[in-house]
Structure 1
Amino acid sequence: MMSPVSVVVILVCWVLSGSLWAASLSGLGDTVMGPEKFRGVANFTTFLLDRSSNTLYLGARDAILAVDTSKLNQPPRMIIWDVPEEKRHSCVAKGKTEVDCNNYIRLLEFLGDGHIYVCGTYAFDPQCAFLELSSFTLEKSEDGGIKMETGKGKCPFEPSQHYTAVMAGGTLYTAATSNFLGTLFDISRATGPEQERIRTERSINWLSDPEFVSSAFIEQDADSNPTGDDDKIYFFFTEVAKEYDLYTKVKVPRVARVCKSDVGGMKTLQRRWTTFLKAQLVCEDKPSGQRYNVLTDVFTTQHTPGDPSSTHFYGLFTSQWEREELSAVCVFSLSDINKVMDGPFKELKKTCENQPWINHEPIPTPRPGQCLNNALKAEGYESSLKLPDKVLTFVRDHPLMENSVTAAPLLVRKGIRYTKLAVTQTGSGDEQRGALLHLGTDRGELHRVAVVGQNATMLQEIPLFSSQEPVNNILLHQGRVLVGSPLSLARLQAEGCSLYPSCKVCARARGLGCVWSTKEEACRPTATEPGPGDMVDEALRKCDREEGRCSPSIMELRVARGLRLLLPCVQLSPRSCSWEHPPHRHTRQHHSDLEVTVTEDSLGTYICTCQEAGPGVRDPTPCRRAAYQLTLEGPSAGGNVASAGVRHVLAIYILVFCGGVLFGIFLFYFITRRPRSLSRQGHHLPDNSLSSEKGRDLLGSSATPQSPSSASLLSEGFRLTEKRNGTTTTTTTTTLLSSQGNGGHLSNSYSSSLIHSNPSNGHGNTIYGNCNTSASGLKFATEILAADMLDGRTGERERGR
């Protein structure tokens, strides 16, 4: 039995740790469901929200779950739909991994008759079933098993394959691979009457090694489209361009369009799309010439609710050519896309001179690729089956448009990879103020960015999950944002000025109609328009900020040789930042911050400049965000730095102390109990029994792990990205990496992050097992020594510029 002292210590530690996690949760103001809530189920990939009942359906590995979004503290309902053992063995025998040979639920769509259509990979043999909502069970067949039908063309074979699907008028439209090897790709009408199930032509001019991202069903105005024949489905993907004849494969983002009324051609394009057109999306920052050519996510929204013509598509991009992590957001309007689709076609003429794409062939009548609108019907074309062969031949050979849909990025961030995007509009109609972007990262964070005109302002960086859990789903519902990872689920407030608890963060949201109330000490909405000039800068000055946004004073830091520290650069606008520094320095940039190893050559001035756009200014302008002067001091500086770090990691030290006390009690109990047990067995130990072998055994079990070598920047279990800079409202990052050659004044290494590894499935994605994390799913940022920890303890002084 445990001693009374150990029981008391455990209770105290439990209360302290519980209060710390509660503080983190209260900072978010909402709820996080960790892996333990899902009872061993993992790999959540698909979200489907029933807005009438506030029920969120989750597609996972071998299971379907239902979560009440208003009561996340309740355990979810669950249906197990796994693969029979013999089928799993057959899948492995075909060369697939055991991890992949499960049933990953990739499709959840409402059928409109009280059922959900559910499709899973089913050990590389896609199958679909019907989920009855009233009983939350899968329909049974006559033999008592689950009623299933083939999912080929509706669901991918492999859990890692890119895929998208959308339901339009009760009919399923999908973009997926259509064979076991993953070499054939189709955009198809996957359900409905058999004769109307059509797909794309098997031609690289139609689809060339695509990576499907998103899809959207856009209904036209009912007055001009009473039968819905002019409704369209849009697909977004990245593919290898065939219009560029280069030495390497060039990826390009595309938008493709098909018509709901399309049933294929009579002779040409039988059971194929007769309305398939595609155009290139160009997200380019013209001042720098940087083009972002890989599309990773798309969020569809109507700027004016109820008006389909106001539809906008917010695209999340990265670059094929950049080695470092890079993310950009561009927005494209439906009207711009339709203008390009109504423009000239592109034609490839291959000659010995390798001429580019040209177009000399006249466009036949009626125009190829258009939907069956009222004008076409009046001319006698009631169905795509009646279209002339010359029209079908032309559209078969010319799926690509000459012009591109272009947009300038709303924001660009280096050092961060965003994975998912959702957008909240502020205001409505003509009084619309701007947009709030909710961006999920590959390290389990949620970032919020305010976009007003050409101004993008970073508001919050919120850690939600383990850094090993990328955000893979974001949904907006009733003023809340639901954020998912492969292992966890979080619910946060998505709208309102109350999101921003400090004056400085509220000031950054000035363009969204927020203002800081000094009387209430809270951020409140206002109808007053900001005055002329920089609205954010004016609002920041009201927060008793001593210097302007682009004129920081120089912060002098006294440092010791061998010290590795992080110089923060707080971004108000998520655009690229650069550093001016001594020429012979040893540095490494992480996001906008700069990590510096202190040597004789690295002393000097460090200045961070970010590109920001002001009101009415389209092109970004440089803005100085931070300035530091590194001055060499004696070894005592290291001791002061270490003491500063101790004060900044008080919560972690409490937990470490409790763990040490518990370990001491266990060790004492083990030492005192073991001789007694041996004596009861008749073995009498001599006085020197704790020397020699037994002593080594005891020491070996309690030896302190060695600290990571100071010669390397990061250990295997340490991620610099656990930091948070000054922009966060929930955690403030201060980071100490390691000390090298400082006389032992920085002997402590701080690392409180739980890093767990997950087996890769061999296809570039990670299959997640259930992890032993905290109940909230939140984590404390690893403490690293940053410049803001040196305040007042290493002789920091501010000097005028």
Structure 2
Amino acid sequence: MISLKIVKHFPVLSIGNTLYTAGSLNFLGTRMAFQKHAQNLIKNEDGFIWFFEPTIISMHMAEINKSSENNEDDNMFLFLIENGIEEPRNLRLSRVARVCKSDVGGMRMLRRKWTSFLKVRLDCPFGDIGSPSLVQDVFLLRDENNLMNSVFYATFILNPEPSSTCSQSAVCAYKLSDIRQVFRGNFMTETAYGTWVRFMGALPSPYPRSCINDEMRASGVKTSYDLPDSTLQFLKNHPLMEGAVTPLTGKPLLVRSMAQFSKIVVDKVTSLDGEQHNVMFISNNSGWLQKAVWSGDDGGRIIEELQLFQDPQPIRFLQLSRRGQLYSATRTAVAQLSVRDCSRYTSCADCLIARDPYCGWDHLKGLCAAVAGASNFSMIQNLIDGDATMCPSSHLSKQITDIHLTADVAQFLPCSPDTNLPMRWRFSGKILEPGPRHILLSQGLVLTPSFTDEGLYTCETVEVVKGREHKKAVIQYNVKVSEGGVNWLQAIVISFLAVFCVLCVMLIISVCWKKKSRNRVGTTSVSYDSTEQPEWKTESCSCESDPDTKKTIPNGVEKKKKSTV
């Protein structure tokens, strides 16, 4: 029986006239290769030491040559998931591998194979200890002033099953200089017992842990063809480095439960005060997009969540254009979104409390707009604590609606905020707690009032920023309670029934009077003994007395036994 493996990732990167690919070499998906398509085809060495059932995630090129002091060759980084050869249980681990851009393979050994392939573990610590995090996507945010300060942003998941109730996702960031430092560390080597330990022997010369630089060129190594066989033999058997790349903050920038992060892109935004902020756009496997920022003071926070696709399906493509347009796609649909769209914040309080680096409140136009190109004269923005008291007073007030309720009659007071912030109710300035007369719902309040429940009811959204509570009134009701009574329709019905009952009584009296008059005709006298009752004639129904109930019941009906306790 043939087992087919579905390859979900097939990264491709084109640089000049050179194409880099990572994917399967056969239709079974059993031979994975990282290849360079140039004048000569270069690929990885076969064998589980280099690749052990890998899932290739993405690849990125860092132009080290432009910022390196010794003109080191550019680095190509490959992010992947594979079985850990150093782990006794073959756990799936996240890796980052490195090759040199100008690598052309060896002259004799490693002919048309990578001579610069090294790999290390990529850590993103979150969730339970012992549960390795699996990288899902990587985005490189380049620092134009200093390439070594460039940052790789990566999404991770703990449980690969989307239906799992304990799934978690996170975003970790890695500095380029930190990754390069790990590749300058110690090598791992396999023992005779199959375990992997630190290599304690002498390293071959020239130094195999960096790409070709001026120092190596001075010693006669200008291309990988010039590397001696001793160096190539060592690299063939020792592609794994000791240690791991850890996040630049020591922990994730953002962690979410019950989520399955997929793609990520990051945009560098200049706020109104001239500061730089990195905004992350993170997609998940349900067609939603999270817009988040991170700061050292309060960590990562999600500004807003947008549903890009109605059908819950994974977002497989996410890319940001230079004009601020975000493009996303699933297998069946494509969406376009402007990252500078601030129209979703409908009030000044919403605009400031969100602390969105793209947006500020234009007090001249009375709307939330993009801060790009705006001046401090016409716009306000507060990204530190989102202080809504900066807003004009006209934008902080809410019109009060008078409402008259009937005592002990349940009424529904609707409240539908236009944000996903927590909602609560206040009664006469105090927080309203749930009770028999107050049922708090997600869309409003069910109130069964008494006369002590008269007063002002306020539905408000609440957000806590750096210990400061920001409240925004959504709707206010001034409740008046009146005595329970009947309305005009009920009054008409009751009056009609009363008149009908009076007429029925008068009709019965009239019939009885006429019958009594007929009995007197042809009879000299009709008299009854005071202790006797008249014997009314019945046609077919005779009654007998029930000794238990002392009531009469018709013949033929079964008697019920008296219950005893």
TM-score by length of 2: 0.63
Q: In the aligned structure 1, how far is the partner of 2:181 from the partner of 2:100?
A: 16
Gap change, CA 1:160 and 1:393, over 3 Å in 2: closer
The answer (yes or no) to whether the contact 1:458–1:508 under 8 Å persists in 2 is no
Counterpart of 2:239 (choices 399, 402, 407) is 399
The answer (yes or no) to whether the contact 1:346–1:398 under 8 Å persists in 2 is yes
Gap change, CA 1:534 and 1:492, over 3 Å in 2: closer
Gap change, CA 1:791 and 1:431, over 3 Å in 2: closer
| Structure 2: runs of 5+ lacking an equivalent | 397-409, 411-416, 425-430, 447-460, 464-472, 479-565
Q: In the aligned structure 2, how far is the partner of 1:242 from the partner of 1:173?
A: 25
Q: In the aligned structure 1, how far is the partner of 2:343 from the partner of 2:150?
A: 28
Q: In the aligned structure 1, how far is the partner of 2:8 from the partner of 2:166?
A: 24
Are residues 1:492 and 2:337 paired? yes
**Alpha-carbon distance, 1:266 to partner:** 2.2
**Alpha-carbon distance, 1:348 to partner:** 3.1
Question: In the alignment, which residue of structure 2 is the partner of 1:470?
Answer: 314
Is 506-515 or 371-380 further displaced after alignment? 506-515
Rg larger in structure: 2
Question: In the alignment, which residue of structure 2 is the partner of 1:186?
Answer: 33
Question: In the alignment, which residue of structure 1 is the partner of 2:188?
Answer: 346
Are residues 1:373 and 2:213 paired? yes
Q: How does 1:518-597 map to 2 (within 5 A)?
A: 518-524=363-369, 525=371, 535-539=384-388
Q: In the aligned structure 2, how far is the partner of 1:201 from the partner of 1:308?
A: 30
Q: Residue 447 of structure 1: SS of its match in structure 2?
A: strand
Are residues 1:304 and 2:144 paired? yes
- Structure with the higher fraction of residues in strand conformation: 2
**Alpha-carbon distance, 1:391 to partner:** 1.0
Question: In the alignment, which residue of structure 2 is the partner of 1:336?
Answer: 178
Q: In the aligned structure 2, how far is the partner of 1:365 from the partner of 1:539?
A: 64
**Alpha-carbon distance, 1:413 to partner:** 0.8
Q: Per-residue displacement from partner, 1:286-306 (whole Å, max 9, x unpaired)?
A: 9x869761000111221337x
Question: In the alignment, which residue of structure 2 is the partner of 1:88?
Answer: none
Q: In the aligned structure 2, how far is the partner of 1:164 from the partner of 1:241?
A: 21
Question: In the alignment, which residue of structure 1 is the partner of 2:12?
Answer: 165
Are residues 1:319 and 2:165 paired? no
Q: Per-residue displacement from partner, 1:179-232 (whole Å, max 9, x unpaired)?
A: 22211111111x222xx2121111212111111111112223448699x98122
| Structure 1: runs of 5+ lacking an equivalent | 1-93, 97-156, 547-559, 561-567, 573-591, 594-604, 606-626, 646-724, 728-787, 794-801
Q: Per-residue displacement from partner, 1:448-500 (whole Å, max 9, x unpaired)?
A: 11223353222221112123332111111111111212111111112376674
Q: Residue 331 of structure 1: SS of its match in structure 2?
A: strand
Gap change, CA 1:520 and 1:457, over 3 Å in 2: farther
User: Which of the pair has the greater relative contact order for Cα pairs under 8 Å at 6+ separation?
Assistant: 1
The percentage of counterpart residues that share the same residue type is 29
- Cα RMSD for the two superposed structures: 4.5
Q: In the aligned structure 1, how far is the partner of 2:367 from the partner of 2:233?
A: 64
Q: In the aligned structure 1, how far is the partner of 2:119 from the partner of 2:392?
A: 50
Amino acid aligned to 1:185: M
Q: How does 1:585-734 map to 2 (within 5 A)?
A: 630-631=434-435
Q: In the aligned structure 2, how far is the partner of 1:211 from the partner of 1:461?
A: 29
Q: How does 1:108-123 map to 2 (within 5 A)?
A: none
The answer (yes or no) to whether the contact 2:67–2:147 under 8 Å persists in 1 is no
Q: In the aligned structure 1, how far is the partner of 2:203 from the partner of 2:350?
A: 55
Q: Per-residue displacement from partner, 1:250-307 (whole Å, max 9, x unpaired)?
A: 2211111111211111232222111001111111259x869761000111221337x5
The answer (yes or no) to whether the contact 2:139–2:154 under 8 Å persists in 1 is yes
Counterpart of 2:230 (choices 366, 390, 394) is 390
TM-score by length of 1: 0.46
The answer (yes or no) to whether the contact 2:151–2:173 under 8 Å persists in 1 is yes
Q: Residue 377 of structure 1: SS of its match in structure 2?
A: helix
**Alpha-carbon distance, 1:318 to partner:** 0.7
Q: In the aligned structure 1, how far is the partner of 2:346 from the partner of 2:388?
A: 15
The answer (yes or no) to whether the contact 1:511–1:536 under 8 Å persists in 2 is no
Amino acid aligned to 1:207: F
Question: In the alignment, which residue of structure 2 is the partner of 1:283?
Answer: 124
Q: In the aligned structure 2, how far is the partner of 1:285 from the partner of 1:508?
A: 28
Q: Residue 404 of structure 1: SS of its match in structure 2?
A: strand
